[in-house]
């Protein structure tokens, strides 16, 4: 996925909305991922430190990664 670095707007820290699912028949999960070292992270009511992306500089800009862990539950 390619996107722009999110900007700041009133009441929120920069973040990226993400929707994903483990398989075609799995439910969709929505969350927000956050930039590291943002001063407003701790003030954001939705922020959680487990949702911080790893961000590195590259020749083409920045590359952000985040590893999702999917747990399949048996009924």
Q: What is the pLDDT of residues 4-59, one digit of tens each?
A: 888 878 889 999 999 998 888 888 999 999 999 999 999 999 999 999 999 999 99
Give the mean pLDDT of 54-69: 92
Q: How far is CA 40 from CA 7, 11, 68, 75, in A?
A: 12, 9, 24, 41
The residues with which 68 forms a beta bridge, in sequence order, are none
Sign for the pseudo-dihedral over CA of 3, 66, 48, 23: positive
- Say whether 41 sits in a helix, a strand or coil: helix
**Which pLDDT score, from 0 to 100, does residue 22 have?**
84
Please give the pLDDT value at position 7. Answer: 81
Q: How many CB atoms lie within 10 A of CB 15?
A: 20
Domains and CATH numbers, the chain: 1-75 (2.60.130.10)
What pLDDT sits at residue 49? 96
Name the pTM for this structure: 0.83
pLDDT at 47: 95
């Amino acid at each position: 996925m390619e996107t722009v670095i999110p900007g700041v707007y009133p009441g929120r820290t920069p973040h990226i909305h993400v929707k994903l699912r483990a398989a075609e028949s799995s439910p969709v999960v929505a969350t927000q991922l956050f930039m590291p070292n943002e001063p407003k992270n701790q003030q954001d009511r939705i922020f959680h430190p487990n949702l911080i992306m790893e961000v590195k500089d590259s020749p083409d800009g920045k590359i952000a990664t985040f590893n999702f862990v999917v747990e399949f539950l048996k009924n």
